[in-house]
Amino acid sequence: MSTFEPIHVVGGGLAGSEAAWQIAEAGVPVILHEMRPIRGTDAHKTDGLAELVCSNSFRSDDPETNAVGLLHQEMRRLGSLIMREGDAHQVPAGGALAVDREGFSDAVTATLQAHPLVSIERGEVSGLPPDSWSSVIVATGPLTSPALAGAIRTLTGEAELAFFDAIAPIVHRESIDMRVAWFQSRYDKAGPGGTGADYINCPLDRDRYEAFVDALLAGDKTSFKPWEGTPYFDGCLPIEVMAERGRETLRHGPMKPFGLTNPNDPDRKPYAVVQLRQDNALGTLFNIVGFQTKLKYGEQTQIFRMIPGLENAEFARLGGLHRNTYLNSPKLLDSTLRLRAMPRLRFAGQITGCEGYVESAAIGLMTGRFAAAERLGRPSPPLPSTTALGALINHITGGHLETIDEGPRSFQPMNVNFGLFPPLERMPKAEDGKRLRGAAKAIAKKRGLTDRARMDLGRWLSGSEIPVAAE
């Protein structure tokens, strides 16, 4: 029997299951509260833990040149249950890791049920956890039950827990053609924390604007699920809905050309301008301002590349609009994912503002380790932000920039991607010492980032005090 007080984990999805496993493996008892089957969600169909609600894919398994593949590898190195069972229930899917969803969920459930330090309690936690629960991880996901979501919202403040995301696409800064685009804030206004040249501007002439509106109108859109409703709120209309309201609507909304002069062509006034705003503290990612959309992903890539300056844009994230409960984490959570206002509560999974099965499980993994280390009185050295796990936590807890001007808050859910990693200090060169270009350069850069991540995770692990699975 362990002498430690248990840690409570609320929600037995991807994040909660992984967190419970990490805590128990560290030698601390854990009580996992899952409301299914007593109360369901609009997306879950079973009472199994770690149910995959939609696709059965964990995405790319390539740890050399893909950020989510690297995240898989790091999670395996940290003894992840989700990755262990994902690997054990793999089905053929080319370079992706896809799993047999039933076998996977059954195995996660059975493993946790059999663990001597894990108790599973079925039932909804319908308000803030009682004071007697001295350490709690809330991992209730994008479809957190309304009663608990309401209690969290009261605690954090109305504006800090969202029920929908309204995602504008994010572009890798280095893929924007700055021979066409330019840096300038509207009317050169500096604003709080700004310089007067904070936005990247892409100019459209009339023909390009008309073609762009035509493409938006014709583009294939995703529809809302019946239970999602139509969350057009806060001035967050999808751009295609704005275009449907009139051909000039966008030119008077997010694409207005006023207060901007194109230094590449100063005598010609652009007919419309698309603005991109810095999204992360590193300055590697820029979001397209006001471009939340329900266009299908393939359409988005094609249509947004019609914008001058974005012809070769690489997207770190495409746009979307979904039912999704998530916190304004950069403001609310500390670096070990504790709620600043009530540090006995930690958060994990998609509710923290990451996106995706693997990312949710990854944040569950780290939150579980942080909570266990705290219970054991051991230090939890911060993860290097050069690792995929560290980059993701850094984005959630501090790496994201708040908007530099008025408007809805800008923190939106995000998959792991290389734009979240600090840039390499030195760009890799070809074997003959020459500068690399094009695809060769892009691959060498990704390899440089993943090699650095592996080395830095190794160093971190050697100083880490919680036992980890053998590599």
Task: In whole angstroms, give the CA distance from residue 150 to residue 163.
Answer: 10
The residue to which tokens 């050169």 are assigned = 188
Task: In whole angstroms, give the CA distance from residue 398 to residue 122.
Answer: 34
The verdict on 417 binding ligand FAD (CB under 6 A) reads: no
Three-state secondary structure call for residue 290: coil
The verdict on 15 binding ligand FAD (CB under 6 A) reads: yes
Rule CB under 6 A: which of 198-257 touch ligand FAD? none
Integer CA distances (angstroms), 308 to 172, 176, 260, 289, 455, in order: 15, 9, 16, 15, 39
The verdict on 320 binding ligand FAD (CB under 6 A) reads: no
Q: Exactly one of 34, 74, 85, 198 binds ligand FAD (CB under 6 A); which one? A: 34
- Of the pair 53, 443, the CB lying nearest ligand FAD is at 53
Q: Exactly one of 7, 24, 31, 35 binds ligand FAD (CB under 6 A); which one? A: 35
What minimum distance in Å lies between the beta carbon of 322 and ligand FAD? 7
- Of the pair 348, 404, the CB lying nearest ligand FAD is at 348
- Exposure string over 149-166, b if 16+ CB within 10 A, otherwise e: beebbeebeeebbbbbbb
The verdict on 353 binding ligand FAD (CB under 6 A) reads: no
Q: Exactly one of 5, 45, 55, 95 binds ligand FAD (CB under 6 A); which one? A: 55
- Rounded to a whole number, what is the distance in angstroms from the first to the last CA of the chain? 28
Three-state secondary structure call for residue 211: helix
Query: Which among 286, 129, 302 is positioned nearest to 215, based on CA atoms?
Result: 302
The residue to which tokens 């699975």 are assigned = 469
Site string for ligand FAD, 136-155 (x = CB under 6 A): ---xxxxxxx--x-------
Stretch that binds ligand FAD, among 66-74, 88-96, 299-307, 351-359 (CB under 6 A): 351-359
Residue pair 34/16 in contact (Cβ under 8 Å)? The answer is yes
Stretch that binds ligand FAD, among 77-85, 169-177, 353-361, 432-440 (CB under 6 A): 353-361
The verdict on 33 binding ligand FAD (CB under 6 A) reads: yes
- Of the pair 68, 307, the CB lying nearest ligand FAD is at 68
Residue pair 42/227 in contact (Cβ under 8 Å)? The answer is yes
The verdict on 53 binding ligand FAD (CB under 6 A) reads: yes
Query: Which among 337, 16, 323, 342 is positioned nearest to 156, based on CA atoms?
Result: 342
Stretch that binds ligand FAD, among 7-15, 106-114, 237-245, 271-279 (CB under 6 A): 7-15
Site string for ligand FAD, 331-350 (x = CB under 6 A): ------------------xx
- Of the pair 79, 364, the CB lying nearest ligand FAD is at 364
Residue pair 352/337 in contact (Cβ under 8 Å)? The answer is yes
* Residues near ligand FAD, by CB under 6 A: 10-16, 33-36, 41, 43-44, 53-55, 124-125, 139-145, 148, 349-351, 356-357, 360
